[in-house]
Chain A
Amino acid sequence: DAGVIQSPRHEVTEMGQEVTLRCKPISGHNSLFWYRQTMMRGLELLIYFNNNVPIDDSGMPEDRFSAKMPNASFSTLKIQPSEPRDSAVYFCASSRVFRPYEQYFGPGTRLTVT
């Protein structure tokens, strides 16, 4: 089975530009999580979905961040406008309904905002 797929793997953009990160969870998994990882703050949960419905977005830093899950096989995380402090590695993870605490991570998107 394919694992969690994320695109792009690397993104370099200028401050003020819109950035869209994409994720395809593992087929059959019904929970999806977006995380951000930095050296200073470690791995932080931004938002998660159950059955395509956002459950908890308390980790989203501010209104510049938004996430959608239009169907069970696709999710996006958008930053508009982007700022240099958004530079980080963004991970998507998914899990099964019967073992929601066992999360499988994608390879991440390394975002650099200049």
Chain B
Amino acid sequence: KAGVTQTPRYLIKTRGQQVTLSCSPISGHRSVSWYQQTPGQGLQFLFEYFSETQRNKGNFPGRFSGRQFSNSRSEMNVSTLELGDSALYLCASSLGGGFTDTQYFGPGTRLTVL
């Protein structure tokens, strides 16, 4: 079974631009969660999508948004980029997003904002 894939793997943008990151979950997984990791911080939860609906949202500004398509693929968008948005963005998929469901992580997208 193919694992979780994320594109692109690396991205360089400038302040004020917007960016879209993509995540393809493991086949059959319906839940996709997004996390941000910055130096010195743990994985910070951004949001979770299940069956094309945002089910949970973390404490991030409205510049961070996402969506999920009918094939469970998910995209994350960040508008009006700030220097502090430079981070590793990970997505993780699971069967149903339940609290005992194992999350399978992708390799991440490294975003650098100049």
Do A and B belong to a common assembly?
A: no
Binding site for A on B (CB under 8 A): none
